[in-house]
Structure 1
Amino acid sequence: MKSIRLLVYPGFQAIALAVATVFEYANLSLDEPAYDFRIVAETSGLVPSSQGFSVHAEPLDDAAYDTLIVAGDNECRLPSRRVLAYVRQSVTRTRRVASVCTGAFVLAAAGLLEGKQATTHWHHAHRFRKQYPNVLLDEDRIVVVDGNIMTSAGMTAGIDLALAIIEQDLGLDLSLSVSRKLVLYQRRGKGQSQFSAFLEPSAMSERIQLALSYAREHLADELTVDVLADAARLSSRQFSRVFSQETGQSPGKAVERLRVEAARLMMETSRQPIEAIARETGFGDRERMRQAFLRAFGQSPQAMQRASAGRTRAG
């Protein structure tokens, strides 16, 4: 049986606890349980979460776990020096070390991400880069695997991390089965983009929101930096700089995201051919749309269209 330990500390994000259910349902799907999941902390007892309630944790010890998963913190605060030292040493006695959301800050502070690829919540990516410039951060990914280190994006991406661990250990079929039992819309691939950055624009300035609103309403048009800058009432140079600062993305990347989301919605709610959807959402042709879908979702429009049709028939 593989030992999975979730490391928490005061103020940890409560949503990290969702990984427990993923491993629970993996066990329920098998004749014999495959995972022994427990919560650990610096000392035994109750540990307060970000929402105020507490969970009981076992104390850290020198056991050689199969996998240590480090929870995140809403403010990117680090745990004690003792916990950081424990995380630093764990890489030598644990087969796999992982983080949920801003838990990547803990792995980085412990020195485990130097020169490695990693991801974290998109909202904290700029701060992460400033603090840890030697980490190859890709905030546009859901899960990043680099050797025996795994990092996941923000919040619910911890579920994707746990599913990726199950896939590594027990195969894709079981991972997909657990995903279905958890009533997930679809199991997100490790290469899928994080989309939260443009779902909640309230943190952006009014001018950037104007540009994004214009883009959403004119997806079929040519959306150059000059066009978006004009919508934001800024110079092209100033717009590019402010847009990147506020969103962590280039304007071109943002437009592509808006287009793939619009195209995906059209595929799910209409029977239009892919060529027509590609034209209406500004891709121009199906090949450009296919490449964008592979970058965003890890699968082609045709594959997603088939999956959507299958869900409709099943319903």
Structure 2
Amino acid sequence: MQDDTLQPDVRFLLLPLPEFSLLPFGGFLDKLRFTGDEEDYSRQRYCSWTILGLEHGHVLSSSGAAVQVDASADEVILAEYDYLVVFGGRSAGATEALAPRYRQLLRKAAAQGVKLVCIDNASFLFAACGLLSGHKVVVHWRHEAEFRASFPRIQLQRDRLYWLDGNRISCAGGAAAIDLAVELLSRACGRTKALKGLADMLVDESRSSEHRLRSREAEVMHGRHVDRAIAVMRQLMASATGADELSDVVGISRRQLDRLFQASQGMTVKAYWTEMRLNHAKWRLLNSNHSLALIADEIGAADTSHLARLFRKRFGTSPAAFRQQERARVERIDEQDCVQHRE
């Protein structure tokens, strides 16, 4: 509830897209709530927020929990707000496909001077709406290859939790939404108010945009040469670079690098890189509508036939059949859920 006796320092419109992720949405909103007043009464004194939708009703999150819309797009006066924060859906491809529905609203907000914030896969929606031209953008590390393939002219700002680029702001998602909220609130309300409530949220400190995730580094604790090689593999997944060139980048011989990978991963450099690429392709088949040709490009396969040979050898089925089987399985589960719900 907003306190009408005091004008907020900053005003937010929060727009959750269909199948949005609860973690960044809840973290961002709760940080606003703690900063909102001196105590813990959720009063909107120093900052205010409104949950926006194209229409009234509820928006379903990726986990099935629903959030109620406070105001529809045709009710709000956009110019009265400082930020429009858009929370992306579970699938990057599905979020990108929402562009025809949301383009008018987003462009209208931008034209009226509202700063646009894309969190998680909302970056795909912004790009599809033509709102990132000339801007750098941060996306979740898992979706970097997919974003580059879809929007090769938009520059990615890698290894960042969030990025402020004038009137376009982006955030990788997850708990980084809390860090972004702290940064935006600091600029409007001051650092003391912005940091308020972090201890209640059991957050040790606000992380900077440049913070490096120790959890990602912990995935590959096998020596600096192996760590470096795996990091380069992720960056060059779509290239035709081979293991020999990779060893040159790392600075040791191919034989030495193979020995290190055999010791830590139980396979050669080439086998590890192939496994990484095929697991990426498998994940993309499950979580995007991209064509096989585009997925082949993402992992450096020469063409769809090359992708199919590699995929069948590893998983025992073709990429097309795998996608069809998984989608059919998901549809059966959804149908069962609907039947149980009706009962």
User: Above 0.5 in TM-score?
Assistant: yes
Letter in 1 for 2:38: S
Contact 1:19–1:159 (Cα < 8 Å) also in 2: yes
> Which residue identity lines up with residue 107 of structure 2 in the other structure?
R
User: Following TM superposition, by how much is the alpha carbon of 1:169 offset from its aligned partner in structure 2, in angstroms?
Assistant: 1.0
Please state if 1:20 is matched with 2:29.
yes
The C-alpha deviation readout for 1:38-76, integer Å capped at 9, x for no partner, is: 211111111111111211112113532211000011211
Counterpart amino acid of residue 231 in structure 1: L
Question: Which residue matches 1:264?
Answer: none
Of 58, 80, 84, the match for 1:46: 58
**Amino acid across the alignment from 2:89:** D
When the two structures are superposed, what TM-score results if normalisation uses the length of structure 1? 0.65
Report the equivalent of 1:260.
Answer: none
Name 2:87's counterpart in structure 1. 71
Determine if contact 2:78/2:109 at 8 Å carries over to the other structure.
no
Q: Is the 8 A contact 1:12 1:48 kept in 2?
A: yes
Instruction: Count residues in correspondence.
Output: 233
Contact kept? 2:20, 2:61, Cα under 8 Å: yes
TM-score, normalised via structure 2 length = 0.60
Counterpart position of 1:107: 126
The match for 2:46 among 27, 34, 38 is: 34
For residue 156 of structure 2, the aligned residue among 118, 137, 158 is: 137
Tell me if structure 2 keeps the 8 A contact 1:225–1:240: no
Equivalent position of 2:184 in the other structure: 165
**Unmatched runs of 5 consecutive residues or more in structure 1:** 202-211, 249-315
CA distance in 2, matches of 1:104, 1:68: 13
* 1:60 aligns with one of 73, 80, 83: 73
Aligned-CA RMSD value:
3.1
Whole-Å separation in 2 of the counterparts to 1:145 and 1:51: 29
Does the 8 A contact of 2:136 with 2:156 survive in 1?
yes
Counterpart of 1:177 (choices 196, 199, 203) is 196
SS in 2 for 1:162: helix
The amino acid across from 2:20 in the alignment is F
SS in 2 for 1:81: helix
**For residues 215-262 of structure 1, what are the alpha-carbon distances to aligned partners after superposition, in whole Å with 9 as ceiling and x for unaligned?**
27999xxx85544443235777x48965995899xxxxxxxxxxxxxx
Q: Out of 208, 221, 226, which is 1:189 matched to?
A: 208
Aligned equivalents of 2:275, 2:37: Cα separation in 1: 47
Q: Distance in 2 between matches of 1:188 and 1:178?
A: 15
Deviation at 1:87, TM superposition (A): 1.4
Distance 1:106 1:27, change over 3 A: same
Q: For the Cα contact (< 8 Å) 1:229–1:239, is it kept in 2?
A: no
The 2-side partners of 1:244 and 1:136 are apart by 24
State the Cα distance separating 1:29 from its structure 2 match: 3.0
SS at match of 1:40: strand
1:137 offset after TM fit, Å? Answer: 0.7
**Percent identity among equivalent residues?**
22
User: Which portions of structure 1, spanning 4 or more consecutive aligned residues, are displaced by more than 6 angstroms?
Assistant: 216-219
Q: SS of 2:59's equivalent?
A: strand
Distance in structure 2 (CA, Å) of the matches to 1:197 and 1:92: 39
Structure exhibiting the larger radius of gyration computed from Cα positions:
2
CA contact (8 A) 1:163 1:179 kept: no
Q: Is the 8 A contact 1:139 1:153 kept in 2?
A: no
Distance 1:228 1:215, change over 3 A: farther
Kindly indicate whether the alpha-carbon contact (under 8 Å) linking 1:100 and 1:154 is maintained by their aligned counterparts in 2: yes
Aligned partner of 1:304 in structure 2 is none
Aligned residue for 2:199, secondary structure, equals helix
1:21 Cα shift? 0.7
